[in-house]
Structure formats: C-alpha cells, structure tokens
Copies of this chain bind each other. A is one copy, B any other.
Amino acid sequence: MHEPQSPRVRRVRRRGAGLTLADVARLAGVSPITVSRALNTPDRLTADTLARVREAVARTGYVPNRVAGGLASSRSRLVAVLVPTIASPVFLETIQAMTEAFAEAGYQVMLGQSGYGTEREEVLLDAIIGRRPDGIVVTGIMHSPEVRRRLGAAGIPVVETWDLTPTPIDMVVGFSHEKVGLSVAEYLLTRGCRRPGIISADDLRAGLRRQGFVDAVARRDIREVPYELVPTPTTLGAGRRSFAALIERCPDLDAVFCSSDMMALGALIEGGVRGIAVPGQLRIVGFGDNNFAADASPSLTTVRIDGTAIGRRAAAFVIDSAEGRPIDGRVVDLGFEIVPRESA
C-alpha cells in the first residue's frame, strides 16, 4: 500500500495480479489490440499469432479486466435480475435457468431484491443502472410509473417475467394468472365442485388468479367464494391455519384452491389431521408444481409453470437485444398446465 519511492512516480499497482493486456502483448511480441482480438475475435488472427498470444496468456495466467472492457465498449456483459425476495422458491427455477443461459453466453447475473418498498426499490434501481447492465430482468410486471420511466430512460432492455401484459416496458415472458384461476375453476366445476374456497397469498399475481377463479365460478351462479389471505412468503403453517379457519367457517366446502403448493400441502396435512377425505370429501389444488407435489400423500393436483422456459426465453431476449439482433414478438405467453393428481 505505501510506497517508499519518489512521490512523482507513476501510480502504483494496488491489486494483486495487476497484469494487463499490454504485459501479455509485450510477452507475445504483438500489439495490445492483437491480444484483445485474440480474446474476443480469435478467428480474425492467423493461427500462428493466435497461438503466440494464447501461450503468453497461459504463461502469465492473465485474466482480462472486463470492467475496463465494459467501459471501452459500453457493453458490461452484466445482466440485472430483480426478484421480490430470493427467499421465496417460486422464481428459483427461472433464476437458475437464466444464470446458466447467461453464463454460457458470457454474461454475469447481478441479483437485486426489490421487495423492500418503493423507496429502497428506487435506490436499488439506481445502483443497478449505475452498473450499466446490458439488460434487466424483473419478475412480475413493473407497475410504479416512476420505475417504468426510469427504466425506459436508461435505455436498457427490460424483460418482465412471470406475468403478462399487452403493454410491457419492453418485453415480457410469462403467462396469464387470470387464465390460471379460470382453468382451475373449470377443472373443479367439471368434477362436480359447487362450494369452492380459496387460500391466497396477498401478492398481485395470486390476486389475479383468485379473480380469474371467482369470475369463472360466478358464471355458474356461484356468487360467493370464501377465502383466506396470507402474507407472502407463504408457508406450510399458513396453509394449515388458513385451511382450518376456512373449513370451520364453511364446513360444507368441497374444494380449495391454494396459491402455492406449500400451502396446499399444509391444507392436505390439516385435512388429514381433521379426518377430511381428500379428494372424496374435498378437493385441493395447489400452484407451482414444486418438486414435492407429486410425492405428497395424496399426491397434489397443481398448476405447472415452466420456470426454466421462462428463464431461458428471458435470457434469449436480453442476449439478442445486447447483440443487436432484431426482436420480434415482444410479448411471449408460455402458458401453464394443470397437472391432475390424486388430491383433485
């Protein structure tokens, strides 16, 4: 840190390696730009030059500084991924698929947790925009007009996911939560249910599913759907307690649609404890097709979302934008699927 040499000397290297492209170039006997090309566009060099540079890189253990590269080329090869909170397992599959797809294409994922209120969301957004990512993927639709304005102004490709809107900021990959509610309602009605209830998280998307469900059953003259609202993140315990509350209020319930598999499992367990026959007496449907759904007892009927496909599609959008390829179809509906199992 402290240098005993004369003060006017060239600035001291602070960091370990401190190896630069110029050092490698000197060793290989070429100009710096040639090393740059060896790393970025190797097919533009003769085999001989390329080999010389590669050898110099290997000998020195040089790792190019992408911060400098990013500044020079205005391409950071960084992508921001915003989730409400990572602690909820809903988006994990999507994050995993994205991280993987981005890593393969040479991009790195920056994680941001937006679920801490508007004020901190704006601070986070500035921190992210300050890093000049090549793209931003958000889970859910951005609703705050201020946030939408800032994202738009930053000129960074934005992909909204896990939801659908005809008017995305930029691009959107997801599915219709209302249609999920609708389909589940029809699934249950078809099986003879006439007195359904809902256990729902208090987030926007779960709300849309509930709305879709309520609308669908209303068409069959079921005007009242009892429900319990649960704060996110949803838990098994919340599922048990909500189910208990619901069934005590309406003992004649014959179906429950839960906004997460974990809560559905809770309902299943609470039902078991109370001696309620599932699906004989009451049907239970979850959401998410988490990896435990198939192995519950009875196994859980649920709604499968292909989180991996969402992640991959979102990554492709960002990468295509960053590489300057044309984007067509900025609204992608990946749909969903009801997985019939024993519980309904």
Which positions in A face B, CB cutoff 8 Å? Answer: 1, 14-17, 61, 63-68, 70-71, 74, 76, 78, 81, 85-87, 89, 92-93, 95-96, 99-100, 103, 106, 108-113, 116, 124, 126-132, 150, 153-156, 233, 235-237, 240, 262, 265-266, 269, 272-273, 291-292, 294-297, 324
Contact = CB atoms under 8 A, between A and B. Distances in A.
A99 B74 contact: no
A130 B295 contact: no
B113 A96 contact: yes
19 contacts: A17-B155, A61-B153, A63-B126, A63-B154, A67-B131, A67-B132, A68-B71, A86-B95, A87-B92, A87-B96, A100-B116, A103-B127, A106-B127, A108-B110, A235-B292, A262-B292, A265-B292, A266-B292, A272-B272
Contacts of A116: 100
B99 A111 contact: yes
Contacts of A68: 71
Nearest to A1: B324
B236 A296 contact: yes
Contacts of A71: 65, 67-68, 71
Contacts of A128: 108
Contacts of A297: 269, 272-273
A56 B332 CA distance: 40
B86 A99 contact: yes
Contact of A16 (B126, B154, B240): B154
